[in-house]
Every structure is written in C-alpha cells, then in structure tokens.
Structure 1
Amino acid sequence: MAHNVGYARQIFLNLTSWRTEARRCLCQTGAVLARHKRRVPVQQKVTKYLRKKVPVISVFKEMTVKELASSMEKDTKHVISCLRGLNISQTVKKDSAILDINVISEVCHMSGVKHRIIARPSSHKAVAVDHDVYSRPKASPSICKPRPPVVTIMGHVDHGKTTLLDYLRKSKIVDMEFGGITQHIGAFSVTLKDGKSITFLDTPGHAAFSSMRGRGAKITDIIVLVVAADDGVMPQTIESIKHATQSQAPIIVAMNKCDREEAEVEACKRDLAEHGVVLEELGGDVIGVEISALHGTNIDALQEAIITQAEMMDIKADPTGAMEGRIIETKTEEGRGKIASILVQRGTLNLGSFLVSDLGFCKVRRLNDEHGKPMKTAGPGQATEVVGWKELPSPGAEVLQVENESQMKKVISYRKAHEQQLREEEEWNAIKENRRSHEEEHTLKVKRRHELGLKQYVMSLRRELGELDITKPTEDMSVPRLSLIVKADVDGSLEAILSCLETYSSDLCEMEILSSGVGEVGQNDVELAEAFDGIVLAFNTKSSDKVEKLATDCNVLIRKHNIIYKLVDDVKSILNERVLPQIEQKVLGEAVIQKVFYVTEKINKKNKKIPVAGCLCINGVLDRSKQYKLVRGSEVLHVDTLYMLKHFKNEVEEIKDNMECGLAFKDHGVDILEGDSILCYEEYQVKPEITWNLPF
C-alpha cells in the first residue's frame, strides 16, 4: 500500500499545466489515500501546486501570433497549430493579427495558461512620444519673395466661369466638360505679357459642389466672382460671397455677358450691394470689370485688376526649405495609381521628396502641370499633379514634406496610433455614459420597488406591459429599399454625389449607401450589390469587361453617368420603380336607409329571414358588383358585397340617383337601422411618385 501512495505522489509531482488531468488522477487515487488518512494533506499540496504553476498572461485586442506566443513563452508554431485546431478561416502567419478576442482566449485555454484582457500597450507608447511633423514658423520677410497670386473663379452655374477660364488658357475645356458644367477642381497658370503669372483654381458652380467651393476659398488669395449681367445674383452667387467672407479674401467682380441686349448691369450692381459686395463706382472698395468671356472683351482689364490687387496685398512666400501646401483634388487612374493635385504654398517641391498629408503619404515619382507635361520643381503659388501616393489624403488637407522615408513612416504610425487612441477614448466615454444611465435607471427601479412594495411593483409592471401593443410591428417591413454602391473618378465628385444623396428623404422607399469610393467598379462592388439587391452608380469612371460580365451574371445594374443631375434623376426614377402601389377608394354612389324589413329566402335548402334595407339613392350610382360600406354617423360598421339589389320586385344591376331600392348584404347578421348610410365604392391601385427636388 505504501508503494501505491508513493506512486500517486509521483504522478502529481510530474503533472503538467493540464489541470483536468490532475483532478482526474486525484479522484482515482482518492480511495487509497483515504485509507491511510493522508487524503487532505495531499489534496492541499496538489491544489497549491496547481495554483502556483498556472501562469497568468496579459492579452489585448488584435494581438499578433508572435506577440501571443511571446506572452505565453511558447513558439509561434504552437500558436499557429492551436489556431488551425480552431478551424480559423484566415491565413495564419507569424505577423497575422488575431482579430477576435474570444479566439485568443481559446488559445490560452488550450495552452494551459490563464489570461487577463488589457488595452493594447503599443498604441499608448507610440502616442507618448510625439513623432508628428508640423508646419514651420512664419518665415522672415527678408527671405520671402513675390509669388503668383492664387485666384479662385466662383459663381453660379452657367454664368460663364468655364468659358472665362477657357479663354484664359486658350483651350476648349468648355467643350470637354460633360453637360457644360465643371465636375471637379482644376488648376492652371497664366503668364501675362509682362512676365508675371497668375495661378487659377476652377471651382464648380453647380449646387452639389458647395463643399468643394468652400475648400477653394480657403486656399485662395483673390476671388473672382463671375455674375451674368442677364441673370443677376443667384443662389450659388450668394454662397460664393459667404465663402469669400469666411476666408477673408478680397473679391473682384467679373460682370459677364455684358454684350447681350438683355443685360442689366446696373441692376446686378444693386443686387450685389444688397448682399454686401459694393463696387467702387457705388462708393465701395470692390473692383468691378465688365467683360464678355465668350468674345474676350476686357479680359486684359480683368487680369490687370488681379495683378493690381495682388501688388496691394504684397503676396510673398518663402521658396526655401521643406515644401508646405494643400491638397486640391485626389483621384485614382488605371496604370498611374493614386494621384493628388497640390497647391504649393511654401518651399519648393522636387522629385523624390517624401510627403505626408492626413494619413496619406508618398514618395514623389512624377510632377505634371495642367497639360500633363512633366515638371522638375514646383515653387510657391504653383499647382502640380503628384504621382506616387501609397495612400490618398482628403482634399483640402495640409501637405508637409519630411526628410526621408524613415521619418515618413514614423509620422504616419504616430498619426494612426493617435487616431486609434482618440477612438478608444471616445468608445470608453460612451461605455461610461451607458453604464451611468443604466445605473440611474436601475436605482430608480429599486427605489420605486421599495416605495411600492413587491406586490404593488409587480402589478404596476403588468399594467405597463398591458398598455403596450405587442402585436404592432416596430418597423414597417413593407417599405421597399434601394441599396447603392457609389464609385467616382475623384474624391471631390464623390463627396458632391454623396451630399446630394443625403438630401433624400421619403416614406415611400428607403435608400441606403452600402459603400462608396474612388476608382473603377470592382468585383467586390458587384457582389455587394447582388447581396443587397442594389445597384452600382459609376460617375465618370470605368468597369472592366470581367466586371461587366459578372454584373450581367449576377443581374446587377451598373448605371454610368458623367453629369451629376442626370445621376440624381436616374436614382429618382429607380426609386419610383420600387415604390409599392397604394390602394385608394372612389365613392360611386350613396344611399340612405329609410326602412328595414325582412324577407324569407331559401338558403341552403332552408327558409331564412334576412334583413333588407329599403333605401333611397341620394347621389351617384349603386352598382351591384362593387364594394359597400355601412356607415352610422362617422363610423364604418361593416364592409361587404351585396346579396341582392332590387328595384321594386325586379333584380337590377344598378340603381341611379333619386331611385328607391331594396338591398341586402351577403352577411345576413349585419345590424342595420333606419338613418344609416350605405356607400358604394370601388378600389384601384395608385403608384405615388417620390418628391425629391434639388436646386440644379
């Protein structure tokens, strides 16, 4: 027996971290230990041994395989084998992140270790040291040199902005613009006869591009407000004035179409004055030039006015050091990758420079001007197209140059970590707020229970539940829905389309945007549209033959557009197609019951007395084949069809106005009284149309 006790002890001393095996062995040898009166001491030693030997590790969300293996002091192969044992669908590598915290818990359990969940330590460490880059302090006036003024053309749609820009750069952009409107911000330089140059930003006048005009106003020096003399001040004109006021940029008014007979120049000047733009001839400080963009009348005078205004402002910048600027527009092109146009505000941009903007970053592989020709450098006041972005920033974002690739990666890592920390803090604050509200609600319930007592509290809960109509659905599932995937050529166009779609609101058909992005329509877009019975909107972008075939096989529509108001009209028509028809009623005739009597009819081989209403038709026609309502006062008591309709003793199909009749409902148990009204009506389907108007 002593041998058995020693053998049991040896088993427990050689146990690994598998606690279940230890307990099983303890149960098997319990009887032997009990006979020798040593069960309790050995159990205590074994329990103490197990508690001592099981390690506790710290885990966190999105932990990598390598980090988890290091915490458990095991090989990465061990973690990978555990994950494969759990049938993880994702491809598992050493640097793969385990997204599900429950999977991490299972791996710890399989490895025989305890764990506790903590916040990711690396994110807080990254944020602790500031690796971000910032714009340089204001340069000394002694090193600053004159730069070209940045001028933004603003105004209402069809007032001649693109025609003016077309004349300035001697091209035919107005013929290339789809639908005669500018779809996204462009930039170009104009060199005057005296060698001076002006950089023009073209912001669209379309109502949908309000936010784009706002970005243009923030990075401009001078605003040229184009107003058509034959049309006057319009909504986008007023909006452009507001953007100019907010940016504190001086305004030069270009009074366009002055050569037309219907032009009312003086009336336009008065309208502008009412909105705070007072021209010099009316006693204000705003320069005004009367032009004709189509024929080039007074364009030289407009350029001189811009140069004069720029000289008064003494526009200068520091051309030395690292480049600083702003993103004008972003896009993705097949074969060229991610592209962003930049306005250089300080320093000089060179090929091979490293840039950061928001979470976007790039090494400059190519610089192009507005004509697509390569540039070697871009100085202050110049706009250039930059090729080589790995991640695209947002339009209007600040662009800063860093020394090398290593610093670029540190800046982006810091910004991502900082953004993650802010997001976690917001989530934690939301959790604390939810906890606080739940605790307050629980405290009120407990207080109410103590005040009423348990019996009265339960009765009050039953009364509250009885007042709820649990049979009424919380959401009308019969309302149709249109799901959209939106793809556009550039970020600005996408933003404008989304802002238009966000104005939609109707109870007839719901609309949701599943996904949106810049670039060509891809396979994922088609598959997502198929899953939600949606459509793909492609604005001025392409889709490959493979994607087109997939869309045909999946019965998914790809609607391609290059004019924004036509896109909105198309979406509106698709919404109307999905609207469910509504049932409406049309009253054909009305009768008043003058007397109620009973007649004997043979029904199912039995004689039965049925109530008959003696009526007078007071309006319209009573048609036997239609539906009828029995109305008493303002309440509808019964809806039915007719069993009989007689004029005197003759069965008839209809009773006209001012004729007497006898009628009976198919439901013979209906309670009819003298003075009740009977309405004859018919039902028909009507498909309502969605009202969705935009100021195009």
Structure 2
Amino acid sequence: MSDMKVKDLAGTVGITAERLVDQLNEAGIKVSQPDDLITEEQKQTLLQFLQQRHGKSADGASVTPKKITLKRKSVSEIKLAGPTRAGKSVSVEVRKKRTYIKRSETEEAAAAAELLKQKEAEDAAAEAAKLQQQELEAQQQRERLMEQEAADREAAAVAAAIEAEKQAAEEARLAAEEEQRALAEEAKAAAEEPPAKTQKSQNQEPALTASQLAHKKLEEADAKRRAANLARIDAEKALEARRKAREEEEALEKAREEAKQAAAEVQAKEQKAERQKEGDARVHAKDKPAKRGKFQRDDEFERKELHVSEGKTGRRKKKKGVSQPRGAVRDTAGEHGFSMPTAPVVREVSVPETISVSDLAQRMSVKAAEVIKALMGLGTMATINQVLDQDTAVIVVEEMGHVAKPTQDNEVELALTVSDEDLGELKSRAPVVTVMGHVDHGKTSLLDYIRRTKVTTGEAGGITQHIGAYKVETSRGEIAFLDTPGHAAFTEMRSRGAKVTDIVVLVVAADDGVMPQTIEAIQHAKAAESILIVAVNKMDKPDANPDRVKQELVNHEVIPEDWGGDVQFVPVSALTGQGIDDLLDAISLQAEIMELTAPVEGPANGTVIEARLDKGRGTVVTVLVQKGTLKKGDIVVVGQEYGRVRALFDENGQQLEQAGPSTPVELLGLSSTPAAGDELQVAPDERTAREISYFRQTRAREMKMAQQQAAKLDDMFNKMEAGDVKTLNVVIKADVHGSAEAVSQGLQKLSTDLVQVRVIASGVGGINETDAQLAAASDAILIGFNVRADNTARKVIAEKGLDVQYFSIIYDLLDVVTKAMTGMLEPVYKDEIIGLARVDDVFRSPKFGDIAGCLVLEGMVKRNNPIRVLRDNVVIFEGELESLRRFKDDVNEVSAGTECGIGVRNYKDVKPGDQIEVFERVLMKPTL
C-alpha cells in the first residue's frame, strides 16, 4: 500500500483525524496536521504501539501489561477560625501517583525494597502533612490568643476612658467651685470697704487675674471631660463590634452542629423507612406471588446519596376508594425536595471476573458515560455493552474513587466440592489402559482379540474414528481399555485419552517402525505422566524387525528394559494371539506396583470420553468413572450441561444400576451434548445443577464476547494489510463431538494466505433444517461426517441448491475440501518467452513509418503475439507488432537466424541495439 494522508487513514479506521495525529505523535511519528503523509512503515509502527497499549504483543498474542500508572489528585478546604477570618478557607491539594509493575520472581526482592522506599516516602509525606496541620493549628491558636489580648486591651481602654472622664468631670466641678468662691470673696470685699476706692482700684487687677485663672481652669477641665467622653464612646463601639463578631461566630458554629444533628436524624429516618419498607415488602411477598419479569438486585438502584431536607412535603391527596399501600407513610415535617450530599459517596463495589460497562456503572450508581470516559482516560475505547475483565474493572473502580472488591465467579460451584469426609474408604480399582499408536498398526485388532469381538469390521475404511471404552474381564482381573484413533486429525482425542489413563500401551508395527503419530502418542503419554508399555505388533509377518523398532524408539527416549531402561517391550500378534498373555501379565504387574486405589462410596466423579446425539435415545455420553459410584437417578453436571441419569449401559449395551471407579459407561439424560474431556460431577439437587449449568454457559458466552471485542482492532488492521482473501465457509455435523472437533481443526489447518477455511457452525447429530438455512444464509457447504440430512433439510437443500458432502473417512474429506479451495483461486498466467530479435538498423518509410531491421537470435517471432522492447536489458515498452515482413512479403512467423522487418504499433522510438522480446501468456493450474 502506498503513502496516504492522515485524515484518509482516520476515515478508514473510524476515528477523528486529530485523535489519530495525537496517537501518531505518541508513537514517535512526527505529524503536525491531518494533511501530512505517512508511509507503510509508520503504519506498522503505529499498529505495534496500539497493540502494546491494548495488551498485545508484536505478533498479535495477548500479553499482560507490564506497567500501569495511576494518577490521582484530591483538593480539600480548611476553614479558618476567628471573626476576622470568617468565610476564609485554605485549599490543600494532595497529588498521588501509583505505579503497578508486573515483575518476575527474580525481581521480587528489588520490588519489595522499592515498595518499602515508596512506603517510607508516603509515611514521610503523611508525617509532613501532619506537621503542617499541627503548625496550622498552632498558628490558629496564636491568632486566637492575639485576638483575645486585643479584646482585653480594648476593654482596658474603655475602662481607662471612663475613669479619665470621671476625673475630668471632678476637676471641672472643683474649678467651678473655686471660681464661685473667688467671685463671692470679691463681692464681699467690695461691700465692706466702699470709701477706699483708690486702694481698691489698685488691688483690683490681681482679683480679676485670679478670676480669669479660675475660669481658664474650668474650661480646661471641660475640654478634658469631652475628650474622655469621646474616647469612652470609641472604646465602647470597638468592644460592641468584637462582641457581635463573637456572637456571629458562635451562631455559625451552632448552625453547623444543628445541621449535623439534622443530617443524622434524617439518615436515621431514612434507615428506619428502608427497614419498614423491606419488612412490608417481605409481608407482601408472602401474601401474593411476585410478578414475572420484575426483579431487583441487592446492589442496584441504591439512593443513598439523596438526603431529604426538612420542611413541608408535597403530600398527594388521597383518592376516594383507593387505599395507600402499607409502609408508604411519608414524613410531612420536612421541606419537600432533596439536598445534595455534603461529601462524595464511596461504595464498596464487588467486581466479578467479567462484567459489562453498564453493569459496572450501575453498581457504582453512576452513568455509563462516566465509566466510558474513565476508560478513555486509561487508553481503552469501550461501548456500553462491552465486557471488561476483572483487572480493568478494578482499575476503573479505583480511578473513580470507590473501593473494588474482586470476587470469584465460581462460588456457586462450591456446592459440587466433596470433602474427604464424604468419600468412602479407598479400595483397589482396575487400571485404565489407553491403547495408542499410528494408524493401521493394529491397535483395535489387538483389543479385538482380547475382547473376542470383531470391532474392526464396523469401522469405516478400517480405521477407528472414535474413542472406544471397554472393560475387559481377564484371568488376571478387570482392565479398562481406551482405544484412541491413530490419524493425525485426532490428536486432541488422543490427548484426552492420555489424561485419564494410568498405563499407556504404545502399539508399533514391527514391519513399519516409528511413525509421526507414534511420536505424538509418546509425547502425550509423557505429558500425562503415565506408565508406558510398548507392544510390538505384527510379529507374525516375515519382514518383522523388532530390533529396528527398539532402535527408533531409543531416539525418542523410550529405552527397553533389556537395554538398561524402564520400558517393557512385549512382542505380540493380533492375528495369531502371540504374546497377548504376556501383555496382560505386564499390565497386571504394573498395576500391582502402582497400587491403584479410589473411593467407592460417595458421589461419583468422572471424565467424558465421547458424546453423541442419537435420534432415538437423545444425548448419549461415554463417561469413565474415576471415583465414587455413579447411580441411576443421580443429578449430574457435565461441563455446561446437566441432567438426571435415566439409564446406564456398559460396552455391550447391557443396562447397569450403578458404576464404580475405572468403569466406562454410557449414560442418558443430559440436556445437550457436552464436550469430550469435560468433568462429570454429581450435584445435590436439580436446582443447584441448573444454576451451575447456567453460570458456566454465561461465563463461556461472556469470555467469547470479550475475546471478540479484543480482536476487533487487530482484525481491522490485518484486513487493511491482507487485502482480498478468499473464504470457504463450511457447516460441519458429525455423529459424535470428538469427530466434529477433529474435522473442524483439520479443516482450519488447511487455511492459507490465499484461501481461508471458516467453520460457521459445528455440531453433533444429523443435518436438520436449521443447519441448511444457516448454510444458505452464509453461502457455505454442508459436510456430514457419518450423518445424513433429514427430510425437511433435504427439501431446503433442493430449493436453495446447496452443496452437501457426506464422508465417513477423514482422508477423503480433507482431499475434497482442498480441491474446493483450489477451485476458488484466481487463474494464474505465466509469461513464456518464445523468441528474441536484435534491432540492427531502423528504416524510415513514408508509408509504413519506422521499420526495425532485426535478426532473430532465439526461438521464433510470431506476428500475433505480444512483445516487449528492451534497451540495455530494461523493458521500455510493452505492446504488439503492427507488421512482420520478410523482404517484401508479409509473414506470420520468422525463425531463429533469419532477418526480418518489424513494425511496432504505437511506438516510434526503436533504436539500433534494442531487443524485441516475443512472449505468450500460458494459463497455469492454481495451487494452494
């Protein structure tokens, strides 16, 4: 793909151009505007950056994020005390940064040390904040003391002003009395000595001076009194202002206490109303049944953040003839309405293993848009119905200020857990022997001889398509045998057989040696930690070479006992019976050494070997009981299915009432076909079994949705790079679950870069109308493996013209599908050079134009074939011939070593020294 603009890529991806520019810059690609061009390498860099951000490795595999950093910021206010600072507050901002790092075991010590350092730093910060708070409280205490001292000084000033005023008033009174006394004395003196005017006039000046002095003192005393009065008034005003400020502060503090008390009373009323409402609801629930379709979860629809304020309520008028429900009495003492919470509500949110965005928002009592916004802040794009994993949900809950409580979804499955006290006494049990090996090495024939039945006659193509489970009674005790298919497509089936077995009998043909499926069987046996016994079969053939088998197995770490190893080698022949007794002796001896035991009493536990859908009997499941006793009528849970055991059958079709450990049985009664390898457990009752089955189905569906959502972004970029890829849709139906699984995996492995095989659906049972309709809607081919279509499905197939293929051998199925995939490929043409001519000279003709005089060097030049003009071995023109002449005659072809004249159509720049290459396009058969 060539270079393209950022805005064009944003339109293709489905995001805004600005967002894509930011992502490119975050990825280290310098882009400034949407019109800039980006190259293919920059697209790959962006894709790798987005994959790492979303938890994907470079190759597309899902990995756990190595490092997650969370940043938090909280702002709180501290109100200052005192009348002069009323209404003022100090904002305290606390910033926290927390980093979660996934470390290996070798880094645990360093991580612990680093965590200790961080904790010490946090403790130091907390201690510093505490010291700061203490310092602030000390500062407030000092301010209160200073204010108290100022108030005391003002009170003292008022008292001093009052005292000064009193003193000034006393001085004025004394001055007035002195003035009156002086005037009286002067009048008396004038009355007693009237003749002596001359002497009186002489002495008059001192008397007037004394009067004036007394009057002056009186005026000064009045001035002091007025000044003292003004000072007293000012001091009283200041004291009154401080008293009012103190009263306002006390009133504000009292109002706060009353508000807290009112809030506590309202909360107590709400709790009382909720308890009364719950009691009434329980009473109503007992009186009449609940309505269908209406339910409420315990952790949903909480209204704890709403506080009813006091005052009048808008009570509804009671309608005539309509009685109000019990518990609906409302408090009419308060004001109608709600008050906002004074503090954010912190909830404890239970987070299961998977949860949708809408459910998570509902549990936190917030809108889903807020959760989506938080996810976008963490770099995750999500929708309201998207399913989140537990780790992501916990981070979102903590980011939004709540407390996350991770829970395990399998709590409901604890009812199936059986304690050791419930199990009976351990008793000896029969060994479980799995027969493995390559196809056509004689595994089923060996069991056929042991069971004295003809199992191989009923197998299609002479190979085993299913896992067979048989319990054989021998002279040395009972032995449970599991026969596994040997074809490569049944690797998963062989793997399940090895996981439930005690001893593995590896059958190797003495005339064929070790084959690919033999090596796989050895690997499965080692992975299951099972004891291995090698049965060298077909010893009756003349070209049998057991030493070759031993030599080849030694290369795979399977060493015989006679060569110093620990693996028993038993030469046998399934046709003549040679060595069969020795093989049974080896199995019995090994079982005695292993001392195999299992509890017989108590609820049964087993593993599904195979499951199929029978038209007459329904779901038939082959189960190997491993411990306990499975009885007819038990309620069992098998994987995602449950049911009651209606019947038990052994390998011969005989009904059983119960089955003990190491017993393979077929049971009827499950709701649907489980997957091979699922665990069978006995439930205490049908209700518990149904709940566990529903829970497992829901969990599987949610996990599938989560995986699909995570793969959408990768699929989008992969489709952009891959271009047009052909897809072959198939719908598979098989007789048993294991065969359907093996066929699906075999077909998916056929996918290439040119043609992809897509399994639309895979199931057990015959082809029905639903399968045919699905194949018609998805343009798929129907594949029936050991099953056929019913009458209704055949009508739909005929009407729609669907392609239906029936198979009983997997070889033929894979070959036919491979041919169908090849037919979907586009035709491939190959250019084959048939001639080469050299231009020696160019002739100018007014009638024919430029004619190149050429010598044919190789092959043959044909007039009707396309050509290429080469100059210095570089193609400069591709077209066709206009004329080919030999002397004056037009010819159709010219052989090597012959001169000719060539006219090139629509090209006039042929020069001497050029070469004219003649080729033809040959249709090639397309291959995968």
Same fold? TM cut 0.5: yes
1:207 aligns with 2:446: no
1:164 aligns with 2:410: no
Pairwise mapping of residues 435-584 of structure 1 onto structure 2 (< 5 A)?
Answer: 476-477=723-724, 480-584=726-830
Give the structure 2 partner of residue 179 of structure 1.
461
- Superposition deviation, residue 134 in structure 1: 4.1
- Give structure 1 stretches of 5+ with no counterpart: 1-63, 72-99, 103-113, 435-471, 602-608, 691-696
- Superposition deviation, residue 524 in structure 1: 2.6
Residue by residue, what CA displacement relative to the aligned partner does 1:531-570 show, whole Å, maximum 9, x if unpaired? 3432111111121132123212211111000001110011
Percent of residue pairs identical: 37
- Superposition deviation, residue 474 in structure 1: 5.8
Contact 1:622/1:656 (CA < 8 Å) preserved in 2? yes
Picking from 892, 912, 926, the partner of 1:653 is 892
Distance in 2, matches of 1:252 and 1:660, equals: 80
Q: CA 1:536/1:246 → structure 2, altered by over 3 Å: closer, same or farther?
A: same
Residue by residue, what CA displacement relative to the aligned partner does 1:447-504 show, whole Å, maximum 9, x if unpaired? xxxxxxxxxxxxxxxxxxxxxxxxx986544x54322111111111111112211222
Give the structure 1 partner of residue 879 of structure 2.
640
SS in structure 1 of the partner of residue 671 of structure 2: strand
1:233 aligns with 2:471: no
Contact 2:748/2:759 (CA < 8 Å) preserved in 1? no
Give the structure 1 partner of residue 601 of structure 2.
320
Q: CA 1:678/1:553 → structure 2, altered by over 3 Å: closer, same or farther?
A: same
- Superposition deviation, residue 666 in structure 1: 2.3
Opposite residue 619 of structure 1, the aligned amino acid is E
Distance in 1, matches of 2:667 and 2:814, equals: 32
- Superposition deviation, residue 125 in structure 1: 9.7
Q: CA 1:273/1:686 → structure 2, altered by over 3 Å: closer, same or farther?
A: closer
- Superposition deviation, residue 271 in structure 1: 2.0
Distance in 2, matches of 1:211 and 1:172, equals: 26
Opposite residue 558 of structure 1, the aligned amino acid is V
- Superposition deviation, residue 418 in structure 1: 5.1
Residue by residue, what CA displacement relative to the aligned partner does 1:287-325 show, whole Å, maximum 9, x if unpaired? 221110111112122112111111111111111010111
- Superposition deviation, residue 426 in structure 1: 7.3
SS in structure 1 of the partner of residue 902 of structure 2: strand
1:687 aligns with 2:925: yes
Give the structure 2 partner of residue 331 of structure 1.
612
Give the structure 2 partner of residue 663 of structure 1.
902
Say which is worse superposed, 557-566 or 244-253, in terms of deviation. Answer: 244-253
- Superposition deviation, residue 217 in structure 1: 0.7
Contact 1:484/1:529 (CA < 8 Å) preserved in 2? yes
Q: CA 1:128/1:527 → structure 2, altered by over 3 Å: closer, same or farther?
A: closer
Distance in 2, matches of 1:581 and 1:424, equals: 39
Q: CA 1:484/1:128 → structure 2, altered by over 3 Å: closer, same or farther?
A: closer
Opposite residue 341 of structure 1, the aligned amino acid is T
Aligned residues: 539
- Superposition deviation, residue 687 in structure 1: 2.1
Q: CA 1:135/1:532 → structure 2, altered by over 3 Å: closer, same or farther?
A: same
Opposite residue 152 of structure 1, the aligned amino acid is T
SS in structure 2 of the partner of residue 391 of structure 1: coil
Q: CA 1:135/1:153 → structure 2, altered by over 3 Å: closer, same or farther?
A: farther
Contact 1:132/1:414 (CA < 8 Å) preserved in 2? no
Give the structure 2 partner of residue 258 of structure 1.
539
Distance in 1, matches of 2:434 and 2:858, equals: 69
Opposite residue 483 of structure 1, the aligned amino acid is N
Contact 1:638/1:670 (CA < 8 Å) preserved in 2? no
Residue by residue, what CA displacement relative to the aligned partner does 1:22-79 show, whole Å, maximum 9, x if unpaired? xxxxxxxxxxxxxxxxxxxxxxxxxxxxxxxxxxxxxxxxxx96459x99xxxxxxxx
1:272 aligns with 2:542: no
Contact 2:645/2:668 (CA < 8 Å) preserved in 1? yes
- Superposition deviation, residue 131 in structure 1: 4.5
Say which is worse superposed, 212-221 or 300-309, in terms of deviation. Answer: 300-309
Opposite residue 533 of structure 1, the aligned amino acid is D
Distance in 2, matches of 1:506 and 1:550, equals: 32
Residue by residue, what CA displacement relative to the aligned partner does 1:498-537 show, whole Å, maximum 9, x if unpaired? 2211222334433322222222112232223223432111
SS in structure 2 of the partner of residue 132 of structure 1: helix
Opposite residue 798 of structure 2, the aligned amino acid is T
Say which is worse superposed, 241-250 or 347-356, in terms of deviation. Answer: 241-250
Distance in 2, matches of 1:242 and 1:128, equals: 32
Contact 1:354/1:405 (CA < 8 Å) preserved in 2? yes
Contact 1:203/1:216 (CA < 8 Å) preserved in 2? yes
- Superposition deviation, residue 139 in structure 1: 7.3
Give the structure 1 partner of residue 53 of structure 2.
none
1:403 aligns with 2:690: no
Pairwise mapping of residues 22-421 of structure 1 onto structure 2 (< 5 A)?
Answer: 66=294, 127=409, 130-137=412-419, 143-193=425-475, 196-416=477-697
SS in structure 2 of the partner of residue 641 of structure 1: strand
SS in structure 1 of the partner of residue 661 of structure 2: coil
Contact 2:416/2:683 (CA < 8 Å) preserved in 1? no
Q: CA 1:597/1:426 → structure 2, altered by over 3 Å: closer, same or farther?
A: closer
Give the structure 1 partner of residue 865 of structure 2.
626
Contact 2:650/2:664 (CA < 8 Å) preserved in 1? yes
Q: CA 1:425/1:639 → structure 2, altered by over 3 Å: closer, same or farther?
A: closer
Say which is worse superposed, 621-630 or 276-285, in terms of deviation. Answer: 276-285
Contact 1:508/1:580 (CA < 8 Å) preserved in 2? no
- Superposition deviation, residue 409 in structure 1: 1.9
Distance in 2, matches of 1:426 and 1:657, equals: 65
Q: CA 1:474/1:670 → structure 2, altered by over 3 Å: closer, same or farther?
A: farther
Q: CA 1:545/1:152 → structure 2, altered by over 3 Å: closer, same or farther?
A: same
Distance in 2, matches of 1:131 and 1:214, equals: 26
Distance in 2, matches of 1:408 and 1:645, equals: 88
Larger helix proportion, structure 1 or 2? 2
Give the TM-score normalised by the residue count of structure 2. Answer: 0.55
- Superposition deviation, residue 425 in structure 1: 7.8
SS in structure 2 of the partner of residue 575 of structure 1: helix
Higher relative contact order at CA 8 Å, sep ≥6: structure 1 or structure 2?
A: 1
- Superposition deviation, residue 402 in structure 1: 1.1
SS in structure 2 of the partner of residue 248 of structure 1: coil
Contact 1:579/1:687 (CA < 8 Å) preserved in 2? no
- Superposition deviation, residue 244 in structure 1: 1.2
Opposite residue 834 of structure 2, the aligned amino acid is L
Q: CA 1:670/1:545 → structure 2, altered by over 3 Å: closer, same or farther?
A: farther
- Superposition deviation, residue 192 in structure 1: 1.4
Q: CA 1:518/1:164 → structure 2, altered by over 3 Å: closer, same or farther?
A: same
Contact 1:139/1:318 (CA < 8 Å) preserved in 2? no
- Superposition deviation, residue 224 in structure 1: 0.8
Residue by residue, what CA displacement relative to the aligned partner does 1:360-405 show, whole Å, maximum 9, x if unpaired? 1111011111122211111111000011110332211211101211
SS in structure 1 of the partner of residue 851 of structure 2: strand
Q: CA 1:422/1:538 → structure 2, altered by over 3 Å: closer, same or farther?
A: closer
Opposite residue 187 of structure 1, the aligned amino acid is A
- Give structure 2 stretches of 5+ with no counterpart: 1-291, 302-355, 359-365, 372-383, 391-405, 714-718
Contact 1:132/1:411 (CA < 8 Å) preserved in 2? no
Give the structure 2 partner of residue 462 of structure 1.
none
Q: CA 1:338/1:563 → structure 2, altered by over 3 Å: closer, same or farther?
A: same
Give the structure 2 partner of residue 617 of structure 1.
856
- Superposition deviation, residue 275 in structure 1: 1.7
Contact 1:133/1:411 (CA < 8 Å) preserved in 2? no
Opposite residue 400 of structure 1, the aligned amino acid is Q
- Superposition deviation, residue 649 in structure 1: 1.8
CA RMSD of aligned residues (A): 3.2
